[in-house]
Chain A
Amino acid sequence: MADEGLTALPQVGRPKREARDKPGPLEYMRQWPLRVIVVATLVFLYAPLITLMAFSFNDSRRNIVWQGFTTDWYVKAFNNESLLQAFINSLTIAFFCTIISVILGALAAVMLWRFRFPGKTVVEGSMALPIVVPEICLGVAMLVFFARVMPWPMGLPWPLNLGAITIAHVSFAFPFVATVVRARLSSFNRELEEAAKDLGASEWRTFWDVLVPHMQPGLIAGALLAFTLSLDDFVITFFTAGPDTITFPVKVYSMLRFSVTPEVNAASTVLIVVTVILTAIGLQMQNNQSKEKKA
């Protein structure tokens, strides 16, 4: 439906646009004050990031004047053991957080979409809480929980020592996944499920072969969301991380406190590139899905 709306518009606009130099009354994008605002906003959003990336190639210890091109900082960053470990920790946590969040989020979405049960409003409300509760509150709650209620065993081998952080991340990420998947489920035709069951498929089989394929775009979008939320998180990790479980943002934070060398720029650039690639893959997968549907 939304797609039709997008493609139908230009046909309405096209006759007007024959005279190219006269913008139609509603073509705000072709009026200069709005163009200036949009361009200025994009500069505001991107200039800092682009400078950061550019200066990761700068041949100088300080981030100030351009001294020539080098990739030394990347070599340095890759040889910085603790930075590399933090980077790997972050990716590992994000990976496990994504898997658990997608499973829990999908189950939560199916539960709320499919069943009527006593206390449903309470469950629904509590499910929305992690989304709205300020990060700092969840962070300190997790700190107290892992300090007093359920201490995470110390000295576990990697990656088990990342358990506490992963649990904390899942707690705020899976409700987001549930929201995305539930939105997708609302377009599901329940008769398909009934048909599958009439044809003798078991509950499990119906779930796996009928419902899951329908949920797939939502699951992908949810997975992407969970991954970036986990990779992005500083505050909650800051409160749950121990000395041997530093994540990338926490590491960068401590580097910012002491000395800033372009190493941080190099590592940040790598992370930005990873995120952009992941986003591109996610969008591509969604595009392919919608194209398949149309075909």
Chain B
Amino acid sequence: MEQTWKQAKAAFAAIAVPPIAWLFLFFLVPMAVIWAYSFGENTGPITIDLTGTFANYIRALEPLYLQIFLKSLIVAGITTLLCLIIGFPVALAIAFATPKMKSWLLLLIMLPFWTNLLIRTFALIAVLREQGYVNFALEWLWNNASGFMTLIGLQPFGEYEPLTLLYNNTAVIIGLVYVHLPFMVLPLYSALDRMDRSLMEASLDLGAGHMRTIWSVVVPLAAPGIASGILITFIPALGAYLTPDLLGGTDSQMIANVIERQFKRANDWPFGAALSFLLMYLTFIAIAAQAFIQRKSERRG
């Protein structure tokens, strides 16, 4: 049973004060300052007047910024979808592997997750650029196919043109999938691992194929895991800064990049503050939606 704090006031104070004080001073206060700034305006190079204006939020609704918000949502959405499509079979395979294999596979999926994000992005650049390994492999295939065509008496293909895989939206999505895949696989795995396997066996015994069993038995049973996988992939993907910054081109800016610019180069803190709170509200909406769906599915189940 939990104890009321009155029973041991001294112990409670000793335990509760440090974390609460830290959280207040070094998290809530900074957040509150940003929130206050979002209703202010620049009156000088470094002075900000808290005038209570909504101008910053109204400016965020201009088509230019609205478009960036929309783009970020779409990019994060596609990333999440791709992670789900790739992650689900992987999680399924891990959940049904032999115990020894299972722990190795889990370790292999988790290890990149522990590696530095910047290093992983840097590694991806070396692979994707025009003089990178993806293009080298494709060139080799191309030249061989071309040689084969000559061999059977047809016109060869001509010179290989390296694909531009970097500095565009595709690169951003590839990078985000690369970084966030473990986020998706792990919750999916834990949901699939807890699932009652006899239901799958029953479905297979009764003549349903594997696809059908997965679609109408496994997916509904693993729905909570799928929902939380979607959420913890979508949220960081939506606020991603580094990946669009390093892998994206001039047109692949996401919200985080715009926020950064307001605080560093453009030096428009109030507007940046408003944008970052809008991003935060979007995050909260996503969490609330997930909680709502979760509760609904629990009630049904």
Q: Chain A: residues with CB nearer than 8 A to chain B? A: 6-7, 9-10, 13, 25-29, 33-35, 37-38, 41-42, 44-49, 51-52, 55, 63-64, 103-105, 107-108, 110-111, 113-117, 123, 126-127, 129-130, 132-138, 140-145, 148-149, 167-168, 170-171, 174-175, 178, 190, 203, 207, 228, 231-232, 234-235, 239, 248-249, 252-253, 256, 260, 264, 268, 271-272, 275-276, 279, 283
Contacts and interface: CB of A to CB of B under 8 A. Distances in A.
B31 interface: yes
B125 to A, nearest CB: 8
B114 A279 contact: yes
Contacts of A232: 114-117
Main secondary structure of the interface of B (DSSP, over half): helix
Contacts of B236: 134-135
A241 to B, nearest CB: 12
Contacts of B101: 29
A252 B119 contact: yes
A275 B116 contact: yes
A235 B241 contact: yes
B153 interface: no
Interface stretch (B15-23, B57-65, B157-165): B15-23
Contacts of A252: 118-119, 122
B283 A132 contact: yes
**Chain A contact residues: helix, strand, loop or mixed:** helix
Nearest to B245: A253
A284 to B, nearest CB: 12
Contacts of A27: 96
A272 B265 CA distance: 32
Interface of B: 1-5, 8, 10-12, 15-16, 18-20, 22-23, 26-31, 33-34, 37, 86, 89-90, 92-99, 101-102, 105, 107-109, 111-112, 114-120, 122-127, 131, 133, 178, 181, 197, 200-201, 204, 235-236, 238-239, 241-242, 246, 255-256, 259-260, 263, 269, 272-273, 276-277, 279-280, 283-284, 287
B201 A25 contact: yes
Contacts of A129: 27, 31
Given A28-B93, A29-B93, A48-B126, A110 B15 contact: yes
Contact of B19 (A111, A134, A235, A260): A111
Between B19, B20, B197, the greatest number of chain A beta carbons within 10 A of the residue's beta carbon is seen for: B19
A45 B112 contact: yes
Contacts of B127: 47-48, 51
Given A9-B99, A239-B263, A49 B118 contact: no
B96 A28 contact: yes
B116 A271 contact: yes
A203 B242 contact: no
Contacts of A37: 86, 89-90, 93
Contacts of B120: 48-49
A38 B90 contact: yes
Contact of B279 (A47, A134, A271): A134
Given A136-B276, A174-B19, A275 B5 contact: no
A99 B281 CA distance: 32
Contacts, number: 250
Contacts of A235: 241-242, 256
A125 B174 CA distance: 34
Closest 10 A-B residue pairs measured CB to CB?
Answer: A134-B239, A48-B123, A145-B30, A141-B30, A108-B19, A117-B5, A29-B97, A52-B123, A136-B256, A28-B96
B283 A144 contact: no
21 contacts: A27-B96, A28-B93, A34-B92, A51-B133, A52-B123, A107-B15, A116-B5, A126-B23, A132-B283, A133-B31, A134-B236, A135-B256, A137-B259, A138-B30, A140-B263, A140-B272, A145-B29, A149-B30, A168-B26, A190-B1, A276-B114
Contacts of B18: 103-104, 107
Contacts of A108: 19
B115 A49 contact: yes
Given A64-B131, A114-B3, A239-B263, A7 B34 contact: no
Contacts of B2: 113-116
A45 B178 contact: yes
Contacts of A268: 116, 119, 122-123
A10 B22 CA distance: 48
Nearest to A104: B19
Nearest to B197: A26
Contacts of B119: 49, 52, 252, 268, 271-272
A245 B27 CA distance: 21
Contact of A126 (B28, B90, B108, B116): B28
B39 to A, nearest CB: 14
Given A137-B279, A168-B26, A232-B114, 16 more contacts: A6-B99, A33-B89, A44-B178, A49-B115, A49-B123, A113-B2, A115-B12, A126-B27, A140-B259, A140-B272, A141-B31, A142-B30, A148-B33, A207-B11, A256-B246, A275-B116
A10 B97 CA distance: 10
Nearest to A129: B27
A115 B7 CA distance: 9
